[in-house]
Chains A and B, each alone.
Chain A
Amino acid sequence: MSIKSLCLQKSLWLFHFGGASCNNCDIEILDCLTPRFDVERYGMLLVGSPRHADVILVNGSINKRARSRLLEVYEQTAKPCLVVAIGACGCTGGIFAEGDTFAGPVDKIIPVDAYIPGCPPKPEAILAGIVKLVQAKFG
């Protein structure tokens, strides 16, 4: 394994993009930072600016207004940057998939590297998803 992929894999900084979410997934993402699950032991940090992000976590259904924001945030990040769609709404649209204002699941707007389904996914599921993503990307 090269030093570049080792360093990237050991220090993934997360940026949290909430679309038109019902806040359940947001709460489960925050659960990952609590003492019980503690993602900082894998080197993951929640950052406030997309410029510092290595992973964008997208949850909630993306409606017509959120679409341009999501594109803008993705373009603002420094590449390489991974995208993880969290929850039924992020992966497929869930119950909003046929709504009027719905602008497509996340992978119709930006390339998605991992899907974590669930309504909402448990913190264990989010951690397992990110571990699988790291294994698939970096071997």
Chain B
Amino acid sequence: MAENLFYFLVFPGLLFAGVVGGLLSWFDRKVTAWVQFRRGPVLMQPFYDFLKLLLVKETIVPARGSVLTFLSAPVLALSGASISAALILLPAFGITSGFRGDIIVIFYLLTIPSISYVTGALASGNPLASVGASREIKLLIGFELTLLLIFATVIMKSGMNISLYEIIAYQQQNGALIGSLSGVLLFIPLIFCIQAKLGMVPFDIAEAETELSGGAFIEYSGPPYAMIKFTKYIMLFVLPALAVVLLLGGLSLTGTSILWSVLKILAVVLLLTLIRNTNPRLKVGQAMRFFFIWMNALVLIAIILTYSGL
């Protein structure tokens, strides 16, 4: 019991994932600044932002709207993100969580933050927030099927293992799954799914700073918004880690391979940042068509290639 609480709250759950995610968020902003020939923020910037929201700012609750739902949504999002962090990072660091089928649970847990944002936005009673929420739902419908098909293909490629620990063990014996043609074809839609899940620029339809001015998060201030920020930090670490675990051979905490693991994560985040900086925002219909037709087609080709052993 105490061990499980430690896994959930300190390492590799809430605290560890949040701190590493904060550093990755600084990396993301710094690279963005370099791309635009700017200096960019200091290393501690994500933590200043988080602590300012948590300690200094007041919480405003909507006058018209459900206060309980509005305030519990960030808590739900944060707990969903940290449970999925624990479940993904434990096998990634070579500690077996001891239950088979965790990849299916992870798929469900990863949708909890998005669903919570939608609930919180709809409870706030703000018209811009409800537009943001409806866009978030549409985007979710768009990319969830692709993500599920990617998970299914990874399970198929690694010899019908439904445990993340065994998928990593399979990759350590037979080489990373991206080493094959179908692995490369899977990596492309996986990166775009992560981009959509993180709400980064080609798919920041729900947040839409320019026309919805914050979208789903428009009414949040103070500690609840700090929780949403922390959830975003955790997701920025967990989703690239998931990509590394599923296709790039997993992480490792022994000897020089720590450096190699860090490089893998940084490379995935760098790819996400560069996509975010070189693309304009899509309309929600375009994003849905992108996932429903093109990304699903790529995954289906990958499934056929896997079936014929490529």
Decide: A7 and B38 in contact? CB cutoff 8 A.
Answer: no
Decide: A52 and B225 in contact? CB cutoff 8 A.
Answer: yes
User: Once bound together, how far apart are the Cα atoms of A43 and B151, in whole Å?
Assistant: 38
The 0/1 profile, CB within 8 Å of A marked 1, for residues 16-49 of chain B is 0000000000000100010011111110110011
Interface positions of B (Cβ within 8 A of A): 29, 33, 36-42, 44-45, 48-49, 51-52, 55-60, 209-210, 212-214, 217-222, 225
> Do A38 and B38 form a contact, CB below 8 Å, given A11-B48, A11-B49, A51-B219?
yes
Residues on A with C-beta less than 8 A from B221 are 51-52, 78
Residues on A with C-beta less than 8 A from B48 are 6-7, 10-11, 43
Interface positions of A (Cβ within 8 A of B): 3-4, 6-8, 10-11, 35, 38, 40-41, 43, 47-49, 51-52, 54, 76, 78-80
Q: Which of A43, A49, A79 has the most CB of B within 10 A?
A: A49
Min CB–CB distance A130 → chain B (angstroms): 16
> Do A8 and B52 form a contact, CB below 8 Å, given A48-B209, A52-B225?
yes
Residues on A with C-beta less than 8 A from B29 are 40
Min CB–CB distance B208 → chain A (angstroms): 9
Decide: A49 and B51 in contact? CB cutoff 8 A.
Answer: no
A sample of 10 more A-B contacts (CB under 8 A), given A41-B33, A43-B48, is A4-B56, A7-B52, A38-B38, A40-B33, A43-B45, A48-B210, A49-B214, A49-B217, A51-B60, A78-B58
> Do A10 and B45 form a contact, CB below 8 Å, given A3-B55, A41-B38, A51-B60?
yes
Min CB–CB distance B226 → chain A (angstroms): 11
Min CB–CB distance B62 → chain A (angstroms): 10
Decide: B51 and A7 in contact? CB cutoff 8 A.
Answer: yes
Min CB–CB distance A137 → chain B (angstroms): 12
Decide: A3 and B60 in contact? CB cutoff 8 A.
Answer: no
> Do A35 and B44 form a contact, CB below 8 Å, given A11-B49, A51-B220?
no
Residues on B with C-beta less than 8 A from A54 are 52, 57
Selected from B49, B56, B59, B213, the residue in CB contact (under 8 A) with A43 is B49
26 A–B pairs (Cβ distance < 8 Å), ordered by A:
A3-B55, A7-B55, A8-B52, A8-B56, A10-B45, A11-B45, A11-B48, A38-B38, A38-B39, A38-B40, A40-B38, A40-B41, A41-B39, A41-B40, A43-B41, A47-B214, A48-B213, A49-B214, A51-B214, A51-B221, A78-B57, A78-B58, A78-B60, A79-B58, A80-B56, A80-B57
